[in-house]
Structure 1
Amino acid sequence: MLAPLPAFAQGKVEAHYEASLAGIAVGRGTWGIEISDDFYSASAQGATAGLLKAFSGGTGSGSVQGRIVNGALVPAAYTATVNSKKSETIKINLAGGAVKDFAIVPEPPVDADRIVVTEAHKKGVVDPMTSSLVKVAGNGEVLGPDACRGGSSVFDGRLRYDLKLDFKRMETVKADKGYHGPAVVCAIYFTPVAGYIADRPVIKYLTAERRMEIVLVPIAGTRVLVPFRLTIPTPFGPAVLEATQFNTVALPPRVAKTQ
């Protein structure tokens, strides 16, 4: 006999994004995400494009796998690789919200000006990719102010930083292909904690910037929201990452065999 398991929320996303600076295309990428009742995974690939590619060609990829425990996304393994003039791979293994071990290959030189990441800093954290997935608790509306009332403590292999969200507004978004519907817009605030060099201009700029925002839309069949658009003002114009294709479908519940 075939008996279906309880209908837990499950869904997936296949999306294409374009990055631009002051309206000029500088990169393109893809992102695939799958959410099951107790497991999630995501993978992304990207490359420079347009004007930026003419000056500095490069590619990158990343992936994460984790469990869903008591409604929370708990990462287990994260990998990110960048190939440009120099290649680098970062691997982080986590358990219960704490970093078990991590490596950067090739190993970077020690910088005495960098604020040391302690063992305490590596507890209660998620990886950068998991931090971009927003799980909305409860049984109410998925899209609304509640989606912007959280935040993440993030460790990316070098930096330990906090991201905080704050509700701004609701709007309607439309990809060239795929999703057309409501979205929630959150302000996003960056606070460095450790692993950074305090006098770096980019750190000072991101810490002080109060106009960054992220636009979130749901993965069909789940209570998980993902970025549709990210906007960061810069002295050269807005840096924008936006979905050009966004296809999401709910997945049927798993079916188990019973005697």
Structure 2
Amino acid sequence: MLRSSHAFAALLAVALPTSTSAAAPRSFKGEYTVSFLGLSVAKATFSSSYEGDTYSIDGSVSSAGLATIFDDTRGTISSKGRILGAQLQPEAFRADYKSGKKTSMIDIQFANGAVTATKVVPAPRKRNPRNWIPLGANDLASVLDPMAATVIHADSLDKVCGRTVKLYDGEMRANLTLTHDSNGSTSVRGYKGDTVTCKMGFEPVAGYRKNRKALNYLKNRSRIMVTFAPVGQTGVYAPIHATVSTKIGTLTVSAERFEATE
């Protein structure tokens, strides 16, 4: 199934701009606000560094505003890997978070683009084989973790959309399909310029329970829009704004800072 913590990590992990150059180390900073029904519910900050053909990123997320009354969640997220041409190849992903008194962890290890080990704490409950879609032998090959999945390598802004991203969040495999919606522009701290907005389709593949209402809504009815901006002259594009419609309202992620720090 799609754990709320997994979705939270995937939605917040929007600051992974990656250099494909083997030049001097580069670092980037992203600061985001998450709002629901117009009210701030979370904050996220990510710092990325890149040297040669390797990348690493560390981030922190926390609930904010009225959300802290109902679910005080705080956590850290990290991802590292290699850059092979125009492709990211994750090596490790980890998310540690605490919601109230409950602590949780997701750890994913990769080798040659495939998942080799996954550890989730607390361990998932036993699945009912009658309604559970298990992971197949080929489902965890050439996949991206929730942070790497948000990065697009493209020759130009017009070529950002028109692709499918294979996401693995530690339990579920899903395909995220990006189709072009519109072009525009924006201005935030660290960036002022052109953007492109893609409509995102969500298709669960394996590692989930059939007929789950939340997943069916995301697949069939939710309107997910992601706006990308270029990260300097690297040829990489990262989300600067995103919205996800739900049955009870719209979740919005907006960058307050989007800039290179070196």
Fold similarity call, TM over 0.5: yes
**1:55-74 deviation per Cα after TM superposition (whole angstroms, max 9, x unaligned):** 11111221110101122111
Select the residue among 88, 93, 111 that pairs with 1:78: 93
Instruction: Tell me how far 1:10 sits from its aligned partner.
Output: 6.5
Alpha-carbon separation, structure 2, partners of 1:181 and 1:167:
18
**1:140-164 deviation per Cα after TM superposition (whole angstroms, max 9, x unaligned):** 4x322x1112221111111011111
Tell me if 1:51 matches 2:66.
yes
In structure 2, the residue matched to 1:104 is 120
Tell me if 1:242 matches 2:257.
no
Select the residue among 242, 245, 248 that pairs with 1:233: 245
Q: Is the 8 A contact 1:74 1:97 kept in 2?
A: yes
Tell me if 1:128 matches 2:143.
no
Where does structure 1 lack aligned partners over 5 or more consecutive residues?
Answer: 1-5, 252-259
After TM superposition, the score normalised by the length of structure 2 is: 0.85
In structure 2, the residue matched to 1:192 is 204
Select the residue among 215, 219, 223 that pairs with 1:211: 223
**% identical equivalent positions:** 29
Alpha-carbon separation, structure 2, partners of 1:43 and 1:199:
35
1:1-259 correspondence to structure 2 within 5 Å: 8=23, 11-85=26-100, 86-112=102-128, 113-136=131-154, 140=155, 142-144=156-158, 146-175=159-188, 177-209=189-221, 211-249=223-261
Alpha-carbon separation, structure 1, partners of 2:121 and 2:157:
40
Alpha-carbon separation, structure 2, partners of 1:185 and 1:11:
26
Instruction: Tell me how far 1:174 sits from its aligned partner.
Output: 1.6
Q: Is the 8 A contact 2:231 2:259 kept in 1?
A: no
Tell me which amino acid in the other structure corresponds to 2:153: K
| Paired residue total | 239
* Change in CA separation of 1:149 and 1:12 when aligned onto 2, cut-off 3 Å: farther
Partner-residue secondary structure (3-state), 2:133: coil
Q: Is the 8 A contact 1:9 1:221 kept in 2?
A: no
Measured on the aligned residues, the alpha-carbon RMSD in Å equals: 1.8
Alpha-carbon separation, structure 1, partners of 2:29 and 2:82:
20
Which of structures 1 and 2 has the bigger CA Rg?
1
Instruction: Tell me how far 1:210 sits from its aligned partner.
Output: 5.4
Tell me which amino acid in the other structure corresponds to 1:196: Y
Alpha-carbon separation, structure 1, partners of 2:114 and 2:233:
29
Instruction: Tell me how far 1:121 sits from its aligned partner.
Output: 1.0
Q: Which runs of 4+ in 1 moved over 6 A?
A: none
Tell me which amino acid in the other structure corresponds to 2:55: Y
Where does structure 2 lack aligned partners over 5 or more consecutive residues?
Answer: 1-20
Alpha-carbon separation, structure 1, partners of 2:172 and 2:85:
27
